[in-house]
Amino acid sequence: MLLIRCPYCEEERPELEFRNAGEAHIARPTNIAAESDDDFEKFFFIRSNPKGVIYERWRHIHGCARFFNAVRDTVTDKFVMTYKAGEPKPAKLPGASK
Of 20 and 92, which CB lies nearer to another protein in the complex structure?
Answer: 20
Q: How many C-beta atoms lie closer than 10 Å to residue 69's C-beta?
A: 22
Spatial CB neighbours of 12, under 8 Å, sequence gap ≥ 6: 3, 4, 5, 6
Residue 85 within binding range of another protein, rule CB under 8 A: yes
User: Rounded to 10 degrees, what is the CA torsion of 69, 27, 23, 70?
Assistant: -10
Stretch of residues binding another protein (CB under 8 A), selected from 31-39, 47-55, 87-95: 31-39
Q: Which residues bind another protein (CB under 8 A)?
A: 1-3, 8-11, 13-14, 16-17, 19, 21, 27-28, 31-33, 35, 37, 40, 44, 57, 59-67, 77-78, 85-86
